[in-house]
């Protein structure tokens, strides 16, 4: 089961692009990279998932280099409502899911 390492916390300002990087040096061939977002007093919510290169949806982009040992979640033009904890997970279809502590993102006005 690949371990992930991500910053404990980050601050940014409204309107900025925020990039959160996650390290997963031991990622296996059949592992996928998934990011979840958790607002206070709510359960986590799936944001994006990818295997390699770049994935984009209406919420975020996920950049994965060729070696797949890291990934970067990119949030374009953040607002105050993007203040949340962001979890990076690496798993395959048979893995038990481990959320870890995540990155606490605080958006300032």
Partner 1 sequence: DAGVIQSPRHEVTEMGQEVTLRCKPISGHNSLFWYRQTMMRGLELLIYFNNNVPIDDSGMPEDRFSAKMPNASFSTLKIQPSEPRDSAVYFCASSLSRGYNEQFFGPGTRLTVL
**Does residue number 96 form part of the binding site for partner 1 (CB under 8 A)?**
yes
Considering only residues 32, 55, 83, 104, which one is a binding residue for partner 1 as defined by CB under 8 A? 32
Nearer to partner 1, 97 or 108 (CB): 97
Q: Which residue has the tokens 């033009």?
A: 77
Considering only residues 4, 6, 12, 34, which one is a binding residue for partner 1 as defined by CB under 8 A? 34
Instruction: Locate the DSSP E strands across the chain.
Output: 9-13, 18-23, 32-38, 45-50, 53-56, 61-64, 70-75, 84-91, 103-108
Torsion sign, CA atoms 103, 21, 98, 59: positive
Nearer to partner 1, 98 or 108 (CB): 98
**Does residue number 92 form part of the binding site for partner 1 (CB under 8 A)?**
yes
């Amino acid at each position: 089961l690949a371990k992930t390492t991500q910053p404990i916390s980050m601050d940014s300002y409204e309107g900025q692009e925020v990039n959160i990087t996650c390290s997963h040096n031991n990622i296996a061939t059949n592992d996928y990279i998934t990011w979840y977002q958790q607002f206070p007093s709510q359960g986590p919510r799936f944001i994006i998932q990818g295997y390699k290169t770049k994935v984009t949806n209406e919420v975020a982009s996920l950049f994965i280099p060729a070696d797949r040992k890291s990934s970067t979640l990119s949030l374009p033009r953040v607002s105050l409502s993007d203040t949340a904890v962001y979890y990076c997970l690496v798993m395959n279809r048979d893995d038990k899911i481990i959320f870890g502590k995540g990155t606490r993102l605080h958006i300032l006005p």
